[in-house]
Structure 1
Amino acid sequence: MPGKVVPRTSVPGKKTSAENSSAKATSERSPRGSAGRGSSAAGEAAVEGDGSAEAKVLAFPLPSYKRRRRTVLISVGAIVAVLVLVMGIALYSPALSVRTIEFEGNKLVSEDTLQAALAPVLSRPLPQVTGGDVSSLLKPVVQVKSSRIEARPPSTLVVHVVERVPVALLKNGSAYLLVDQDGVELGTTKDPAKAGLPLIDGGKAAIGKDTFQAMTGVLATLPKSILSQLANASAKSRDTVELKLIDGRSVIWGNASDMELKAQVLEALLNAPLPTVPAGKPAPVPAKVFDVSAPRHPVTR
């Protein structure tokens, strides 16, 4: 007879082996689940913490050298701006326009002539007036060789004039031309004695020649005290300049070498006192010719 399967009855209060196995498995899974849930919570907390750290940006103070550099840059910029403003006012302000022009050093040319020549400068801002502007305006005034300007704020312009110096006369018809070393005509006179200048041979046609330049170069070197004693100057070549004094004495100058030394020697010879003559002896004949062509060994005869 087939055997019967007898069902296992559970005793109250006791667990079967199957139940014990199930409970053990559950207990082993529970810590891992708890740990997983804990890790998840910690991760969320970490994410929230990171988000908070990114949201808060800490401001660190600038290093001291950077603060100083920024201060210097700001100061320099302010100074430059002020300078630009001041220069703009100075260049264009009508308060600094030229109202008065003064001249110094002019003797040959009248101040009225100079004022008329520089009339275009009036009312122009003083800082805008240059030496080149003044030189260009004075160019038609032949007596002016060069000029230099000086600004005296707020409205005065001072012009220092260097005039050409007449050194000789040139015969031109019935009149005499006053010329400087370069042959520039500075004026005319009908009475050569009043001019106190020597006459150059050749007239106006002599201007520009080598002999003319040689003669006027000599005359420009001589002091006024000797120049006023000369009657005329002549030269057959640039190396044979001769001078004639009003009293008839003559000077052999020679070439253009040692010009200043020759002028000093000639002045000393002309101003030398007459030698003392012993009683009973004839007085020496005064020198009529002064040869300074070799100034370290001058000759008189």
Structure 2
Amino acid sequence: AGAGQGSPASGAGQRPPASAQRTPEPGSHGPETGSIRINSGKVSVMGAENRSTSATKDPSAPLPKREGKSATPAVPRGRKTAEAKPAARARPAAKAGKQRKAVTPSSAESKSRTIVAFPESPRRKLRRRLWIGGVTAVVLFIALLAVLVFSPVLAIQTVSVSGTDLTRKEALVEALQPLKGKPLPQVTDQDVKALLTNFPAVDDVAVEAKPPSELGVRVVEHVPVAVLKTGKKFALINADGKRLATVGKRGDAELPLIDGSTAGEDPEIFRTLTAVLAALPQDVLAKLEHASAKTVDSVELQLTNGKKVIWGNADQLELKARVFEALLKAKQPEGGIQVYDVSTPTRPVTR
């Protein structure tokens, strides 16, 4: 018996090696139920569902799957994964009663048959036509304006001048020659006036376009109120004392005469004389021969028939002018009137 314990040939009572395992028989699909697998000191019992229960747990081994639950790996509490969000946001299935009905060709055809096309209302049609017509008119107007302003079709070829008495028309036409070639709509009153600054009698101008190529210029001149005698020359002056033009003889202008020495000696007296004469109408000025003054308060006028007018100062010019005009038109008393005193217009005196 002692010799039998140490004999290697004896297989009774000896444990099979650790690496030994049952080999499945040919034709079988895996370990049989209840078979034992011995591997590296681990004993596993194979069940009916090929699940192994390890005697020694391996921390690195994956958790076994459970039947009846999702195969999604467990997520630690408090964390959310990208795969879990869509499931959380998934809406519950609609109830059977609220599910949309599928649109079949027959139902779509029946709906199309129920659509009725109503004719456009007359008011809406009129509004649309007016809108289209308005837009078209604006576009045509802009195009026409562009043609008129920038096209050489309306270029100036001739210039005509009217309204001049103190200035020669030929001289004005010659001064306006630089305007030739410019389109008529581009020429303004300021453009014409800028070319006539060398003519003192011209006060203002008005431009008139005469298509296709003529520019009309109407001149407004200063109104002369007196004739200023300087030596042997006679000049027409306005209310500001500005010299407008010259005349060859005293009789060429039916205006009162002012001695030029007065203007040179005392400009204030000269301004007073011109202001008094400017207040009188043209028909009255034509009856005056001379105007003089020694001071600003002693203005005197002399008529062409030799009668005298005591005017006084430059106060109440309009009232004095109306009173003096009324006295001239009034019936003359016997013996006539030699002196008209309107220095106090509310109490005029004649003698």
Asked if 2 retains the 8 angstrom alpha-carbon contact of 1:174 and 1:190, the reply is no
Cα RMSD between the aligned structures? 3.6
Distance 2:127 2:326 in 1: 72
Work out the percentage of aligned pairs sharing the same amino acid: 38
Tell me if 1:172 matches 2:230: yes
Tell me if 1:275 matches 2:333: yes
| Paired residues, number | 249
Residue in structure 1 matched with residue 344 of structure 2 by the alignment? 294
Distance 1:97 1:86 in 2: 16
Shift of 1:66: 6.3
The answer to which structure, 1 or 2, has the higher relative contact order (CA under 8 A, 6+ apart) is 1
Q: How does 1:1-301 map to 2 (within 5 A)?
A: 46=102, 64=121, 69-189=127-247, 191-197=249-255, 198-200=257-259, 202-205=261-264, 209-228=267-286, 229-234=288-293, 236-237=295-296, 239-270=297-328, 272=330, 274-276=332-334, 284=335, 286-301=336-351
Most deviating of 79-88 and 253-262: 253-262
Asked if 1 retains the 8 angstrom alpha-carbon contact of 2:291 and 2:299, the reply is no
Asked if 2 retains the 8 angstrom alpha-carbon contact of 1:262 and 1:295, the reply is yes
Give the alignment's TM-score, normalised by structure 1: 0.67
Q: How has the CA–CA distance of structure 1 residues 245 and 52 changed in structure 2, closer, same or farther, with 3 Å as cutoff?
A: closer
Gaps of 5+ in 1: 1-42, 277-283
Q: The residue matched to 1:106 in structure 2 has which SS? A: coil
Give the alignment's TM-score, normalised by structure 2: 0.59
Q: How has the CA–CA distance of structure 1 residues 206 and 61 changed in structure 2, closer, same or farther, with 3 Å as cutoff?
A: farther
Q: How has the CA–CA distance of structure 1 residues 226 and 74 changed in structure 2, closer, same or farther, with 3 Å as cutoff?
A: closer
| More helix by percentage | 1
Q: How has the CA–CA distance of structure 1 residues 80 and 59 changed in structure 2, closer, same or farther, with 3 Å as cutoff?
A: farther
Q: 1:232 corresponds to which letter in structure 2?
A: A
Q: 1:167 corresponds to which letter in structure 2?
A: V
Asked if 1 retains the 8 angstrom alpha-carbon contact of 2:262 and 2:270, the reply is no
Q: How has the CA–CA distance of structure 1 residues 268 and 73 changed in structure 2, closer, same or farther, with 3 Å as cutoff?
A: closer
4+ runs deviating over 6 angstroms: 50-53, 58-63
Shift of 1:221: 2.6
Most deviating of 158-167 and 217-226: 217-226
